[in-house]
């Protein structure tokens, strides 16, 4: 869909780059698949801030997206493609031949009026949903299940995809965009194609106000504080902290490891690449 820039009438316009949404649906979302949504502003049930730098922002309604695709061998038509404020990918409203409607994650190159389906013997084309064992190796897929019938969990954000590398007994070998290679049961389902809105990564916010619209409040650097407020604070002139980066409570910036070994860790063939 391309990117949209602005004439530099103001300083913020000069640096702003957003995604052009002119081809998306301009009306309201489909009401039977829409729910209300409340924002905590980073506060707990006592009204005390427990997560800093959150608050404000535009009100959102939640769109119920079908990650399961359980209606098998029933053709559906894409009625419209919509913006969803709760995710980076676009969503598509599809209408099945029995008149039921669902929202799905919209893949790249899917157009209004296209026919899609889910099942065992459907065609290998964009938007169709099949079991991994029925998809040829080398195909790009998204919305991949980790457990059969549990709904898609992998590759759901804008521009993401998973490459099907091959098979090993009852497992399919997939390569994630992070570089991780892992096994997934071959009777898990996935949708053909990469996720829409690949230009999401090129957005430049341009001004602080746009982040406020998104519910993000300003963050003060630790080195700009006094020693009583932050471990990086104090010192004469501008200092860089003088120690390894930590949180206001002294915890390492790398974070406290809270992840325990998972049941599926044994299915990981090679770990994701570490950022330098």
> Does position 191 have pLDDT exceeding 90, yes or no?
yes
Superfamily of domain 3-200+262-270: Nucleic acid-binding proteins (2.40.50.140)
Band of residue 40 on the pLDDT scale cut at 50, 70, 90: very high
Mean pLDDT confidence for 67-72: 94
DSSP annotation of 22 reads: T
172-176: long-range contacts (C-beta < 8 A, 24 or more apart)? 172/132, 172/133, 173/269, 174/132, 174/141, 174/144, 176/272
What is the rounded average pLDDT of the residues 131-135?
94
Beta carbons within 10 angstroms of residue 209's beta carbon: 10
Mean pLDDT confidence for 267-275: 82
Q: What pLDDT band is residue 276 in, cutting at 50, 70 and 90?
A: low
Lowest pLDDT segment from 102-111, 139-148, 261-270: 261-270
């Amino acid at each position: 869909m391309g990117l949209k820039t602005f004439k530099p009438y103001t300083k913020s316009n000069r640096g702003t780059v957003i995604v052009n949404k002119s081809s998306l649906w301009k009306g309201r979302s489909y009401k039977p698949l829409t729910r209300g949504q409340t924002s905590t502003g980073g506060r707990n049930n006592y009204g005390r801030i427990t997560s800093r730098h959150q608050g404000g922002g535009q009100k959102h309604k939640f769109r119920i997206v079908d990650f399961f695709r359980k209606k098998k061998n029933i053709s559906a038509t894409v009625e419209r493609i919509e913006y969803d404020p709760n995710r980076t990918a676009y969503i598509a409203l599809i209408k099945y031949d029995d008149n039921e409607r669902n929202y799905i994650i919209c893949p790249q190159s899917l157009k209004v009026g296209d026919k899609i389906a889910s099942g065992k013997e459907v065609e290998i084309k964009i938007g169709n949903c099949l079991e991994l064992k029925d998809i040829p190796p080398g195909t790009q897929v998204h919305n991949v299940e980790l457990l059969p019938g549990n709904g898609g969990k992998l590759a759901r954000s804008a521009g993401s995809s998973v490459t099907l590398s091959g098979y090993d007994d009852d497992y399919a070998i997939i390569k994630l965009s992070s570089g991780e290679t892992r096994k997934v049961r071959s009777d898990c389902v996935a949708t053909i194609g990469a996720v829409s809105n690949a230009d999401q990564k090129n957005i430049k916010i341009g001004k602080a106000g746009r982040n406020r619209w998104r519910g993000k409040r300003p963050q003060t650097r630790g080195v700009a504080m006094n020693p009583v407020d932050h471990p990086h604070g104090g010192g004469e002139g501008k200092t860089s902290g003088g120690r390894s980066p930590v949180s206001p409570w002294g915890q390492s910036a790398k974070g406290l490891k809270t992840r325990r070994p998972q049941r599926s860790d044994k299915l990981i063939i090679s770990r994701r690449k570490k950022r330098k």
